Structure 1
Amino acid sequence: MTVFKEAGQLLRIFIGEANRHGRMPLYEWIVQQARSQGMAGATVLRGIQGFGANSLIHTTKILRLSEDLPVVVEIVDTEEKIEAFLKTVDPAITEGLVTVEKARVRMYRAGGNRKARS
């Protein structure tokens, strides 16, 4: 389990919904890797519009492009764990943007005795 003393890092991975790792969506693979490496947690956010390095607009407004909407995977953990995790996922991210920012963790709490869902 990750122990924070306020200093942490926020990892953001900006990819497309259609990006894959093998047969699996890349965002799903990234979350599975984060869980298996004991990261503090991961959240996937699906955008309604965006563009990347190729300047192609992806939006829910155009039916044919709505299949590749922007996706952001966010993970907050210690600097050491983020750096180690990046070594795992770097080869799988063939297009997209990855940022790392300082994060000041004010609280990190787990709920009651909830069972993990697979």
Structure 2
Amino acid sequence: MKLEGEQTLMRVFIGESDRWKSQPLHEALVEMLRREGFAGATVIKGIMGFGCHSVTHTDKLLRFSADLPVIVEVVDTPEKIKAIMPRIDDMMSGGMVTLENVHVIRYRKNENSCS
């Protein structure tokens, strides 16, 4: 797959405890994106954050450490991102999705291995 030039970066901001059916939402999103043939996705777990309710979630407070912030990032063509947005919206009960234009300089698999 060749993915270079102007593309779209989608970030999905959710909580670690968010679910889709019986599965963690971030896992369900990544699996769905993989099945749909996206170039790749990365899940980033935050150590501190707050959302629309202004409740701070941090790994320092045991009481709030069960719902740390999670970001799912994916870069692909604007058309693929736009087409998948309704499905992502259906899977989310809260959170935020952002889109940015990005310029992909390099996207190639390593000939010796591929993650």
TM-score, structure 1 as length reference: 0.92
CA distance in structure 2 between the partners assigned to 1:28 and 1:62 by the alignment: 25
> 3-state DSSP class of the match of 1:66?
helix
1:65 corresponds to which letter in structure 2? F
CA distance in structure 2 between the partners assigned to 1:49 and 1:5 by the alignment: 33
CA distance in structure 1 between the partners assigned to 2:43 and 2:71 by the alignment: 6
Partner of 1:29: 28
CA deviations 1:32-68 (Å, max 9, x no partner) are 0100000000000000000000100000010111110
Following superposition, the deviation at residue 113 of structure 1 comes to 5.0
Partner of 2:63: 64
1:83 corresponds to which letter in structure 2? K
Partner of 1:8: 7
Runs of 4+ in 1 over 3 A off after TM superposition: 113-116
CA distance in structure 2 between the partners assigned to 1:113 and 1:93 by the alignment: 37
Partner of 1:98: 97
Aligned-residue CA RMSD in angstroms? 1.3
1:52 corresponds to which letter in structure 2? G
Following superposition, the deviation at residue 85 of structure 1 comes to 1.5
Q: Which runs of 5+ in 1 are unaligned?
A: none
CA deviations 1:49-102 (Å, max 9, x no partner) are 000001000000101111100000000000001111112211111100100000
TM-score, structure 2 as length reference: 0.94
Following superposition, the deviation at residue 114 of structure 1 comes to 3.5
CA distance in structure 2 between the partners assigned to 1:103 and 1:112 by the alignment: 25
CA distance in structure 2 between the partners assigned to 1:115 and 1:43 by the alignment: 15
CA distance in structure 2 between the partners assigned to 1:59 and 1:79 by the alignment: 34
